[in-house]
Structure 1
C-alpha cells in the first residue's frame, strides 16, 4: 500500500471541492435514476450546504486531504464524526476520492485506511458509508477492506 498522510483541507481547497463534490454526487444521483438532471446540481449543493452550515469549520466534520510524502495531493475525505441516523459509536464517510491520475495504484485503500485511523483517533469504533450500485470498483474496495452490507436499496425498471 502506498504511503500517505492526511491533513485538514485548506479554505481554498474547500472552495474548489465544494462544487466538485456536489457535481459528482448530482451525477451519481442522476445515474442511479434518483434525481432529474435539470435540478440535480442545485439539490446536491443545497444538501451539502445543509450538512456543512459553517463550511470547513462545521463542528463534527473532518474534511481532509490525502498527500504523498513529497506533499503531492492524491485525494480527499469527508467524514462525519457521528452517524446521520444516530448509531452510537459510528462515524459516516460521506466522500472518499482519489485523483484520477493516482487511481489503480492502491491510494484508495490507503486513503480508506487513513479515514479509519482518523475515526479511531476520535474514539469511535465503526465507520459506515454509502456506495452507489453503478460503482463496482468502490464496492470491491469496501468489501475487500472488511465492510459489510447493512442496508441495500434495489430497483427494477418495468
Structure 2
C-alpha cells in the first residue's frame, strides 16, 4: 500500500467538500431517525454554519486532504482543535471520509492516524469523535485504533402497543 500524507485543503477544495458534507450529514440524521427528510438539509446547513461561522477561515478548524505520493486523493478530515463541549486538551474529529474507490484497503486507518499526528503537532493530547451506532465498519476502525466508548446514547421507538 502506498504511503498516505495529509495537507491542508485549499479553499476551492473546501467548497466542494462542504457541499457533499452537508448532504451526507442530513442523510445520516434522517437515517438515524433524528430529523425529518423535509427539514434535514436546512438543519444540516444550520448546524454546520454554527460550527463554522467563518467557513473555511473558522479559527481552530483543520480541513485536511489525504493523498498518495502521486497526488491521488484518498479522503478528507475535519478536525476542531478545541472540543465542542469544552473538554480540555481534547480535539474533536467532525468528519473522516475515504473516497469510495479506496475503501476497504486500509486507508481509513492511515487517514485517521495521520489526523492524530496533526493533532499531536498542535499540542493537543486527545481526540474524540462521534459515530452512529449502525456504522459497524467505522466503529470497528475506531475501536481497533484505540478509541473507547465514553458515552453511549440509546433509543427505542415506542408504539401504542402495550
Shared fold per TM-score greater than 0.5 = yes
Q: CA deviation at 1:136?
A: 0.5
Cα separation, 2, equivalents of 1:63 and 1:157: 36
TM-score, normalised to structure 2, is 0.95
Provide structure 1 residue ranges, at least 5 long, that are not aligned to the other structure.
none
Cα separation, 1, equivalents of 2:2 and 2:115: 15
What residue in structure 2 maps to residue 69 of structure 1? Answer: 69
Provide structure 2 residue ranges, at least 5 long, that are not aligned to the other structure.
none
Greater relative contact order (Cα < 8 A, sep 6+):
1
TM-score, normalised to structure 1, is 0.97
Q: CA deviation at 1:157?
A: 2.0
What residue in structure 2 maps to residue 51 of structure 1? Answer: 51
Q: How many residues align?
A: 158
Change (3 A) 1:138 1:2: farther
Aligned structure 1 segments of 4 or more residues deviating by more than 2 angstroms: none
Cα separation, 2, equivalents of 1:64 and 1:78: 6
Cα separation, 1, equivalents of 2:67 and 2:52: 23
| Deviation by residue 1:86-121 (Cα, 9 ceiling, x = unmatched) | 111000000000000000000000000011001000
State the superposition RMSD in angstroms. 0.9
What residue in structure 2 maps to residue 27 of structure 1? Answer: 27
The answer (yes or no) to whether the contact 1:2–1:110 under 8 Å persists in 2 is no
Larger radius of gyration between Structure 1 and Structure 2: 2
Query: Counterparts in 2 of 1:3-152, with a 5 A limit?
Result: 3-152=3-152
